[in-house]
Amino acid sequence: MRPPRDRRALVRPHVVTGGRAHPSRNTIDVVTLVVATRHPTVGLSPEKRRIAELCRGGALSVAEIAGHLALPISVTKVLVSDLVDGGHLTPRLPDPSDEPSKLEILQEVLNGLRARL
């Protein structure tokens, strides 16, 4: 007899991360963008290999990776951190020119408030 679905879900993340609950890097966040390197994926777990394959198409955030793999964010952060440590992924720093200016942010807030009135 198979255990209930919610009970199986509690075991899997523990197994996938090797029992770890926290990433080795404090800089990995849900919005951190990562891109795959050309490092070979031989010897990686299926989840780590899938993450590396996903990131070969371009930079993805940790949240996007979690969504594609249907894994909890906490598990994804641990796996991504391991892949960065192993040289399989590289964090991509955001381009400062991509950030909106303070004036643009204030204008968007004003437009939103006007739309509600």
pLDDT in tens, 16-52: 676 676 677 667 888 889 999 988 888 899 899 999 9
Helix (H, G, I), strand (E, B) or coil at 81: helix
Kindly state the tokens that stand for 16: 């996938």
Task: Please give the Cα distance from 14 to 9 (Å, whole number).
Answer: 9
Query: What DSSP assignment string belongs to the chain?
Result: -PPPHHHHHHHHHHHHTTT--S-S-TT--TT-EEEE-S---TT--HHHHHHHHHHTTS-EEHHHHHHHHT--HHHHHHHHHHHHHTTSEEEEPPPGGGSPPHHHHHHHHHHHHHHH-
Q: How many CA atoms lie within 13 A of 101 on its CB side?
A: 3
pLDDT recorded at residue 97: 63
44: left (phi over 0), alpha (psi -120 to 50) or beta: beta
Sequence spans of domains, the chain: 5-116
Residue-wise pLDDT for 59-115, tens only, equals 999 999 999 998 888 889 999 999 999 999 999 866 666 666 788 888 888 888 888
Residue with tokens 């509690």: 10
